[in-house]
Amino acid sequence: MACGLYFETLSISTLLTDHDDFDNESQTTDNYDKKVVEEVHMKKLFVLIALSFAFTVGGVNSQQANAASQPKSAFKNVKYISGYSYNKYSDIAVHAKNPKANAYIWNDTHTKKLYNLKNYPTYTWFKTATGSYRGNANWVQVTNFPTMNPKEGWVWKGYLKDGFNTKGYQILQKRYGQPKYAGGQYHVASGQKNVYLWDWSHTKVRANLKHYTNQTFSQRHSILVSHNGNQQWYYYTDVDTKKGTISGYVKASQMNKGRSKNYHGNVVVYPYDFDNTSDYLSYIKDNNHQKLAREIIKLFPNTPVDYQLSYYAAENYGIERDPGWDGDGFDPDPVKGYTDIVSFKPIANYLMNHRNESNAKKLAGVKKLLAKAGYPAAKRNNLSGYHLGIYIVNNVKTSQSVTDHSKLNWYGLIIGKPAS
C-alpha cells in the first residue's frame, strides 16, 4: 500500500518529463549519459509497476492514466493567446504570406503534416498560442474555426502575415449578446430565392433554406463578415432535414423576424407557439401531420376548435412521448376562462398505446371510446355551448429520430365551456 500512496503523490507526466526532454535534446547532442538513461528506464519501470498495482486495487486516477498514454507535445514554452478566447479576431488574424508556396501546418508532435497553406488561399487563420520547437521560438498554433471540427496545428511564423486575408470571406466579429445577436426567432424571408446556409469559412454550402420556409430558426450567435469591402451580419442557426440537424451561417438580410406561419409540409409546431385560434386552425388545415386531428374534429361538428383550450388539452391533460423522453406527467397550468371541462384521457392513452396503427384503426377506436364515455354521435351532434380542445402529434419522425429510431407522439382531447 505504501507503493500506492507514493504513486498518488506523483503525476505520471512529472515522472516522464525528464525522459521526454532528454529524448528531445538527444536529437542535437552526442553526449549520451548512460547513467541518466538507466535512471530514466527505472522511472519508466516504476510507473508501469505503480500503474499495474493501482489498477488492481482500483485506485488509479483516470486523468493520470490518460496523461501517460497521450504523446507529449514537441512544442515547448507554449503560451496561449487570450484574444482567441474572447473572439477578438482582429488581434489574432493571420494569413499565408505567399499563397503559392508550400507552408505546412503540423500536428502537436511535429510528426505529421496536416495542411498546406497554399491549398487554402482565401483563408484567414487565427493564432491561439505561441511556442518553440527545437529551440526555435518562431512557431504559432493556428486554427480556422472557433468551435467544432477546426483545422488547427502548428506553423512556422515566417510563413504568415498579420491581418485578415483580403480574399474570400473574413470573420471580423462574433457576438452573443441577447436579443440583438442571439436568442431571437426568424424565418426565411422568401422561398423564391436561394438562401444558403454556409460553413464558417464560407466555402461550402450546407443547406438551402428556401426549401425550409415552414421552419422557425433560432439565432444562436452572430458574426460580422467582410467580403470585397462590404460587411454583413450572419446568423448561426440550425435546420432540420431528412438527414438530421444541420448547422451553419445565413445572411441576416435573408431572414425575417418572428416565427414562420407557413404550416405546409411536415413541420411540427408545439402548443405554446401559436398566436390565436385562427393561427392554430391554419396549422391544422395545412399541416401533413394533422390528418388524424382533422378526422377527430369532424366527430364534433358543432363544437368549434379553441386554441387556448387546445393548449390546456396538450399541457394539462395530454400524453407526450418523444425520442428523448417517455412520460405523461406535466406541471399543469391553471385552467382559466373555461368551465365544465370534460377530459377524454382514455382516448389519449389509447392513441399513445396504438401509435403505430393506421389512422383508420385509431379513428375507429376513438369513436368507441367516445361512446363508452357517454358521447355517442347523437350527443356530439347536439352539443351546445362547448368548445373543443385538441392537440395531436401523431407518430411523427423528427430530426432526432434519425439516430434514436423513435418518433414524436403527443395526444390531448377535451371539451369545455367558455366562462361567461
Q: Which fold has domain 76-162?
A: SH3 type barrels. (2.30.30)
**Residue 275: count of CB within 10 angstroms of its CB:** 12
**Domains of the chain by residue range:** 2-69, 76-162, 170-257, 271-418
Say which range, 265-274, 292-301, 365-374, has the weakest mean pLDDT. Answer: 265-274
Q: What are phi and psi of 155, to 5 degrees?
A: -140, 145
Mean pLDDT across 56-73:
55
**Residue 34: count of CB within 10 angstroms of its CB:** 7
Output the average pLDDT for the chain.
82
SS3 418: strand
Report the DSSP beta bridge partners of residue 326: 321
The DSSP 8-state label assigned to residue 335 in this structure reads: P
Contact 380, 299 (CB under 8 A): yes
Contact 239, 207 (CB under 8 A): yes
pLDDT 10s digits, 123-159: 999 999 999 999 999 999 999 875 567 899 999 999 9
List the CATH code of the domain at 170-257. 2.30.30
| Statement: the pTM of the whole predicted model exceeds 0.85 | no
Selected residue with higher pLDDT from 368 and 57 = 368
DSSP 122-165: T--EEEEEEEEETTEEEEEEEES-SSSS--EEEEEGGGEEES--
Mean pLDDT across 403-419:
87
Task: Tell me whether domains 76-162 and 170-257 share a fold.
Answer: yes
